[in-house]
Each structure stands twice: as structure tokens, then as C-alpha cells.
Amino acid sequence: MTAAAIASQEILKPHLTVAGGHSLGGTIRVSGAKNSALVLMTASLLTADTLELCNVPDLTDIGGMSEILASLGVKVERQADRVRLNAAVLSSSEPPYELVNSLRASFFSIGPLLGRLGHAKVPLPGGCRIGARPVVEHIRGLKALGAVIQVEHGIIHANVPGPNKRLKGASIILDCPSVGATETILMAAVLAEGTSTIENVAQEPEVQDLANLLNRMGARVSGAGSPVITVEGVESLHGCLDYPVIPDRIEAGTFLMAAAITRSRLRVEPVVPEHLNAVLQKLRDCGCHLDIDATGITITPKEITAVDITTQPFPGFPTDLQAPFMALMTTARGTSVITERIYENRMQHVGELQRMGASIRVDGNTAIVEGVFRLSAAPVKGSDLRASAAMVLAGLAADGTSKVSGLQHLDRGYDDIEAKLNGVGAVISRQAS
């Protein structure tokens, strides 16, 4: 393809125009958690009965997972925020490469496929290009449960030996508390023979949500939310109806930061405050007053001053809010130090913020941000999902109207973000070209 043709395609991609300088106010709604919904959908592979989820966000990633599950024989029905899945008849144990390559969460299917069928062929995953994110921990855990695994030509071939094709309980210690590995091993272990103990696991709310669903389906999982999870294997699981996906803590945090960067009083709901403790503390530290009640959070920014953050596994500051928080810090009084400890390639948004007048210096995976009086509008592009959200936030605070492209990333994780923000006073429009 010629350079001119590539440029033409880029021009035709949709973008957002974000008018800066508008105050926000009122109440903004938070959708169900993308990172939870995706893995809960794969749990449907563990049973022949129907699984029904509610509070499911309308995202391209959810559509992608629906396609992947359908390719395996799962019947998928969507109505409003509800998804019904029935895997009574699985026609395949090998999701297609072209689908898996675009959605990393599709790799989660390997655990339930092994647990229920005893075999699976799953391509290595894709997703946002923010770092290596290897699946070594997933493979080690599945091998400990008795699976025989080979990797050939980018495809993982996994089988359970023996006449009953059933995994065996095991003691597993993860080298790092990977969310994906924890969820993969957990779903494999629930149908294993015997008891599994998994140590150094991820403690994220999404892991707890998965464990809660599995227990509703008849599993025996304890310890989710702590460093050690114990799973007593059962022979089969049943279905579950009307299971609500937890609110998206990353979307909630993004909206709180949208209020802070525009110096606006805003109510964000529903929110589970315990899922955002580290973020809420940093917002308080930088000058925001928070009123927290049973259903949501009202944020009232005062003078925003610089604070430092270091991303860490839960309950630390989440890597998925590093970029939006950096956008906020570009407008703070003073100098902040932002250190990324989860992914090695998650500072790509720095250059785009600099295009808007931000003063940022990068040293490895640390950014030194000197707050400026005001950002200025510019054409910018989100390099990944959360970087795209950061560009929208920066545009809200900038002088003039910004053009934000890279919406293929944004639409993976935010359900109609422009409509939600417009509903509380923003002026954002989606343009076809």
C-alpha cells in the first residue's frame, strides 16, 4: 500500500473533537467493568447451562469476545446490558487466530476449555501494544494442574492426559501476581480433581468478581481478594442467571479525573470506593474534596497541586489510570514524578501531551511532569486504550478544540464516552473523517 493510500485511510478514520474550557456538573454514570465482563463471559465455557450477565458494557472488546465464544459453539444473545451465553454444545476448542490476535482477554478461554474438555488449541494473544505481557505464568500454572502443553507456530496446544481427561489439584506459587494468570488458573482449577492452592495471586476486584460468579455456579473458591486462593474442585458447574458485573473502577477513576482537570464538581456513580482507595487518596492529596456515600462519589476540586504516583498491582495505584492521572498532573501546580512499574512501554502518551503544551521529561519508565498554566488544543492520537482517554481529558482542559484520533483503542474500554461526558457539560462530537 502506498504512503498516500495509508494517509487516506488514516484521514477517514473517525475522531473526536473536544472543545476545551467547559465546566462539568451533575451526575455521570459508570458502566460495568470491561476487564471483569470479558473473563466472566469465558466462564460460560465451564458449564452446559445458561449463564446470564447484566450490567455488561457496550464495547468493541465485548463484541470481540462474543465472536470468539460463538466460534467455539457458544450461543450468545445480547439485549441492552444483558448477555446470555449457553455452551451446551461446544463445536470447537480452537478459537480462530484472527480473533484472538486482536483481543488479549480471549486467551482466558484456555483455562475453562481444558477444565471442561481436557484439550484446547489457543493462539498467543494480542491487544494493546503496551508491553510484553507474557503468558508464561498461565502455562506454568496449567502444567502444574497436569496439562501437557506445547507451543508451535504461535499456537498453544494443551491436553490433559489420562482416561478421564481431568486436571488434578496442585499447589501453585505465581512468580508475579498476574491478573490474567490468576484468572486462567482459577477457571481451570474449579473442575480439577482435588484441591488447589494458588499463592501470590492477583487481588484485583475483577478476580474477586470471577470467584463470586464461579461460586454462584457451584464452585468452591475461597480467599479471592487475598494473596492465597484455595479451590476445591467439583465435578461440574451449573448455570447462573442475572449476575451483575461490578462497576468499572477504571472508568470511574477516569471520570473523577475529568472533573479534577476541568476543576468541576461532579458526581460519579455507581462506584465501589474500596476498589479505588489508592486513586482516591491521590486525588485528595492533589487537592480534591471527596464526598463518598453508598452509591457514588462527589468530587469537588480545589487548587490542584502536584503529587507523585507509582503504579502497582492492586491495592496500589492502577497502571490503567497512569495516563489519565498524568494528564491531570500537566495542569497541577508544581512538579510530579510518575513511575510506571507494570508495563515497560506505557509512556507513549507523553509525546502527545507535549504537543498540547505539557512540560514532561521522561527517564526510562519515569516521567517528571512540571505543571503548566494551561494546555493548548492540538491534533493528538491515543496510542492505546488508556492513552486515548488521557487525550480526551487533556482536550477538556485545553484552550481551543482538540482532535483526538485512535478511537479504535478508546472504544475498546469506554462505553459511549462522549455521550456520557456531554451529558454533564462537555462539548464533544464524533466525526467520521
Query: What positions carry a catalytic annotation?
Result: 128
For residues 166 and 316, what is the distance between their CA atoms, to the nearest angstrom? 37
C-alpha cell of residue 393: 481529558
Angle of helix 179-189 relative to helix 136-144, nearest 10 degrees, comes to: 20
Nearest to 294 by CA among 278, 272, 315, 276: 272
Could you tell me if 314 and 36 are in contact, meaning their C-beta atoms sit under 8 angstroms apart? no
C-alpha cell of residue 304: 490542584
Apex CA 387: angle with CA 383 and CA 392, to 5°?
115
Burial classification of residue 303, based on how many CB atoms lie within 10 Å of its CB (0-12 exposed, 13-18 middle, 19 or more buried): exposed
Apex CA 408: angle with CA 156 and CA 87, to 5°?
45
For residues 309 and 317, what is the distance between their CA atoms, to the nearest angstrom? 7
Quickly list DSSP for 329-366: HTTSBSEEEEE--S-TT--THHHHHHHTT-EEEEETTE
Length of the chain counted residue by residue: 433
Phi, psi angle pair for 245, to nearest 5°: -70, 140
- DSSP character at residue 180: H
C-alpha cell of residue 139: 502455562
Burial classification of residue 216, based on how many CB atoms lie within 10 Å of its CB (0-12 exposed, 13-18 middle, 19 or more buried): middle
Strand order in the sheet with 266-269: 27-29, 266-269, 297-301, 288-292
For residues 150 and 141, what is the distance between their CA atoms, to the nearest angstrom? 14
Nearest to 68 by CA among 120, 28, 33: 120
For residues 55 and 92, what is the distance between their CA atoms, to the nearest angstrom? 28
C-alpha cell of residue 95: 478459537
For residues 207 and 65, what is the distance between their CA atoms, to the nearest angstrom? 18
